[in-house]
Amino acid sequence: MSSTDRIDWKSIFSLSSMMYTILGVFSALIALQGFMIPNHFLDGGITGISILIEEVFHIPFSLPFILLNLPFIFMGFRKIGKTFSVNALIAVILLAVLMTFITFPQITSDKVLIAVFGGFFIGLGIGLVIRGGGVIDGLEIIAHYTNKRIGFSTSEIIMTINTLLFIGAAFEFGIETAMYSILVYFTAMKTSDYVVDGFEEFTALTIISKEFETVKSVIVNDFGKAVTVYKGERGYLPSSYDIKQDCDIVMTIVTRIEIHRIKEVIKELDPNAFFYVQRIKEVKGGLGKHNSMQH
């Protein structure tokens, strides 16, 4: 039986998973009651739609929040994994219950502070719940599913839904509040990315240089990084297409703090060296923050 066909209750109720979920839900609670809802600010996704429904139809936030998330959680149950969906359901219900029975005082009415700190706390909550194995917004699930069905990318689907949401906010609350809500969404998105991916983001740096042996030596011996080497050819320039040379294409995993230093040293060795950089979402079994890797 695959991991998506069974519910891993041990994982769901593990200390780390429960702590991430509880802390994430409380962070979202602070954002919603302390900053966003009293000041009519929205986030994206199901959370933003639920706030808009509460403001327009005076239906308590928790009811549309649960009802709108349930179909997506069921979809995730069938398409992504049962353990994930149970984690998501626990987080959604917990947030809805706390929103109903706990009243958190409004912290500020300053619009900039609301946009920045409201976005920070809701993003922190989203990220922590994801680290715990679930979600508190079903939009990511529907985007994942629809991407396979109709060919649109996840970002296109999310952007379309959120654009319609913020247009609705502009009609209901005014252009200024809608613009601040976009800032809330952006802050939340970046904060959740940092929480999920880590503050020390890893990057793949690939170097093509005629001095490839020296480049490998510098990266390994001077910077303490491991490298992966691809056998290739350099040349094929528009003005000299027939000229080419065999070379080693050197790739290493670095942090954004290290990348500039390595590039500067390599430029001194070969001013014509070619670089390209790719963001890495996750690094496992290899070079981490404090260890090296053998290739």
Give the integer Cα–Cα distance in Å for 41 and 48: 8
Q: Which domains does the chain have, with CATH numbers?
A: 9-197 (no CATH), 202-279 (3.30.70.120)
pLDDT over 70 percentage in the chain:
85
Residue 128, SS3?
helix
Q: Binning pLDDT at 50, 70 and 90, where does residue 153 land?
A: low
pLDDT band at 293 (very low <50, low <70, confident <90, very high): very low
Whether residue 123 has pLDDT greater than 60: yes
Long-range contacts of 143-150 (CB under 8 A, 24+ apart): 144/79, 144/80, 145/75, 145/79
Span 166-185, pLDDT tens digits: 999 999 889 999 999 999 99
- What pLDDT is recorded for position 5? 62
pLDDT at 3: 47
Mean pLDDT for 156-174 is 86
User: Is 80 exceeded by the pLDDT of residue 201?
Assistant: no
| pTM score above 0.85 | no
The DSSP symbol for 232 reads E
What would the DSSP string read from start to end of 7-45?
--HHHHTSHHHHHHHHHHHHHHHIIIIIIIGGGT---SH
Residue 32 CB partners (closer than 8 Å, separation 6+): 47, 51, 61, 99, 122
Q: Would the pLDDT of 76 be above 80?
A: yes
Is the Cβ–Cβ distance between 232 and 210 less than 8 Å? Answer: no
Residue with tokens 């528009």: 238
Distance of CA 123 to the CA centre of its chain: 9
When comparing pLDDT for 292 and 105, which is higher?
105
pLDDT digits (tens, 9 = 90+) for 238-266: 888 888 888 999 999 887 667 877 888 89
Name the more confident of 264 and 21: 21
Q: Confidence class of residue 6 from pLDDT cuts 50, 70 and 90?
A: confident
Q: CA 120, CA 127: separation in Å to the nearest integer?
A: 10
- The pLDDT of 69-91, averaged and rounded, is 88
Q: What is the mean pLDDT of the chain?
A: 85
Does residue 130 carry a pLDDT above 50?
yes
pLDDT in tens, 54-75: 999 999 999 999 999 999 899 8
Query: Which is higher by pLDDT, 29 or 203?
Result: 29
Which residues contact residue 39 at a Cβ distance below 8 angstroms, ignoring those fewer than 6 apart? 106, 109, 111, 114
- Tokens found for residue 54: 């509460």
Chain mean position to CA 96: 23
Q: Count of CB atoms within 10 A of residue 59's CB?
A: 13
Cα separations (Å) of 165 from 16, 149, 190?
34, 23, 19
* Confidence band, pLDDT 50/70/90 cuts, at residue 289: very low
112, with CB counted inside 10 A (0-12, 13-18, 19+), is exposed
**Signed CA dihedral, 72, 75, 79, 83: sign only:** positive
pLDDT of residue 2: 46
To the nearest whole percent, how much of the chain has pLDDT over 90? 48
